[in-house]
């Protein structure tokens, strides 16, 4: 493959990765928005409540998970829901300072909880949700930044070992 074709191939691959990442992020935002701004509590019945009850039954059948009750499961779910936000921010905004990436989930969560409080009277808006969501986003940022740094170090070491 000629050098020009290699560069073009790499460019197409980068664009493909960006497109897939953007589509995945869009899908995630739909899920996040639906969970955050659904007019009634998402755990008030239906599929989410069915899944929640099955998870609680599962936890109560395992001795070291019996401590998990609904409130703990909700906390873990809030954290888990925002981990991808932090990861996507790092992936899609690689030049933005890490501190801004860490603060962004806090802002997003505070906005969602504020909208719940002011416009969705059947929803419960709490500062705990903001803190748990922010923690999840922070975890996503830290894990993704760590992976990015590790990959850069490996690439640098590989280049150095190949004499480049």
Q: What is the pLDDT of residue 143?
A: 97
Domain hosting 75: range is 3-38+69-161
Give the chain's domain count: 1
CA 26 to the chain's CA centroid: 12
| pLDDT per position as a tens digit, 16-26 | 778 898 899 99
Q: Does residue 55 lie in a domain region?
A: no
Residue in this structure with the two tokens 């890490």, named with its chain if needed: 98
> What tokens does 90 get?
């790092």
Q: What is the pLDDT of residue 105?
A: 98
**Each residue of 31-58: b (16+ CB within 10 Å) or e?**
ebeeebeeeeebbeeeeeeeebeebbee
105, 106, 113, 110: which is closest to 88 by C-alpha?
105
Give the separation between CA 12 and CA 137, rounded to whole angstroms. 30
108, 112, 100: which is closest to 134 by C-alpha?
108
Q: What is the pLDDT of residue 119?
A: 93
29, 8, 6, 26: which is closest to 18 by C-alpha?
26
Q: What is the pLDDT of residue 115?
A: 95
Q: What is the pLDDT of residue 124?
A: 86
Q: Does residue 100 lie in a domain region?
A: yes
C-alpha distance from residue 79 to each of 6, 19, 48, 163, 164 (Å):
42, 26, 16, 44, 42
| pLDDT per position as a tens digit, 34-50 | 888 888 887 777 787 88
Q: Does residue 21 lie in a domain region?
A: yes
Q: Does residue 144 lie in a domain region?
A: yes
Q: Residue 62 phi/psi, 5° resolution?
A: -120, 120
Q: Does residue 129 lie in a domain region?
A: yes
Q: What is the pLDDT of residue 44?
A: 73
Residues of the chain with confidence (pLDDT) below 50: none
Q: What is the pLDDT of residue 87?
A: 97
Q: Does residue 151 lie in a domain region?
A: yes
pTM summary value:
0.83
Q: What is the pLDDT of residue 13?
A: 61
Q: Does residue 47 lie in a domain region?
A: no
Q: Does residue 99 lie in a domain region?
A: yes
Q: How many residues belong to the chain? A: 164
- Are 79 and 139 in contact by the 8 Å Cβ rule? The answer is yes
């Amino acid at each position: 493959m000629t050098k020009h074709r290699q560069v073009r191939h790499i460019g197409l691959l980068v664009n493909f990765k960006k497109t897939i990442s953007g589509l995945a992020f869009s899908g995630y935002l739909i899920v996040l928005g639906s969970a955050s701004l659904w007019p009634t509590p998402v755990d008030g019945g239906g599929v989410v409540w069915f899944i929640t009850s099955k998870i609680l039954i599962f936890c109560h059948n395992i001795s070291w998970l019996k401590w998990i009750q609904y409130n703990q499961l909700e906390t873990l779910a809030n954290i888990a829901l925002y981990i991808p936000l932090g990861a996507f921010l790092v992936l899609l905004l690689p030049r933005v300072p890490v501190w801004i990436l860490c603060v962004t989930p806090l802002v997003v969560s505070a906005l969602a909880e504020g909208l719940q409080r002011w416009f969705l009277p059947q929803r419960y808006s709490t500062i705990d949700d903001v803190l748990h969501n922010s923690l999840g986003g922070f975890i996503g940022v830290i894990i993704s930044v760590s992976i990015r740094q590790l990959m850069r170090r490996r690439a640098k070491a590989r280049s150095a070992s190949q004499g480049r």
